[in-house]
Structure 1
Amino acid sequence: MPMKLTHKDFDDLRLITVEEDRIDAASAIKFKDGIRNLTQDAPDRVLLDLAQVGFLDSSGLGAVVACMKALGNGMTLELAALQPPVERVFHLTRMNTVFKIHTRVSDATTDTEHAS
């Protein structure tokens, strides 16, 4: 069964919402496949809404990093709404210095309010 991911496009941003409670070894490949499919025709900015994700292990972190690396030239992967356990993983691994992390999805979408 594929990972539940939904998306919404704004002028210069694709918001991808992860509708699962965990990204771990069991789901990392499905996560990467789903993100790859949703970013093929995406704008240059991709925002990953992780508000529903309460658990992320090293495989999940690796999957998020792999998705960032797989984006086309000039594309960026930003993160939003990390729950404390997930945020801790990003801080402990210093990945918070690699990714632009927004407290809320609205923080990243306020300058792109024209939804399509």
Structure 2
Amino acid sequence: MTPITITLLLVAAALAGATTAWLIVRSKRMRKKTSNIVDLAAARRRKTREASLNPITSDATKRKVGSAKGADIRGFTPKNADTRLQSCSRCQKKSDSVGFYVDEYGNLVGVCKECRKSAKNRDLMPL
């Protein structure tokens, strides 16, 4: 082989290697940009920085409460009310403490205290 051929082959190999390296770096950068994973520490720093630059006064601090506990504004529902009771997906009993699980098909299942044993026996994933 002549020295010119060897030089051309080395240049071609170097060019192919440089192109491959550039494509790998570019794909990593694009993967980082399109990813939906956010660095929490950076997001918190950004949020506190924006909050310190733009202090916003909320309407909630200006609002006067009509009742003593503010129940009219928040739409407060007491925990012991009948409207808070939920029915069990298995036995259909109304219960105030319903545990939620995901069944084999991905459906949400709410079970009462008596039915939780059967949900754990079926190896349902708790939420």
TM-score, shorter chain, exceeding 0.5: no
Bigger proportion of residues as strand: 1
Question: If each structure's helix is expressed as a fraction of its own residues, which one has the higher value?
Answer: 2
TM-score, normalised by the number of residues in structure 2: 0.18
Query: What's the TM-score, normalizing by structure 1?
Result: 0.19
Bigger radius of gyration among the two: 2
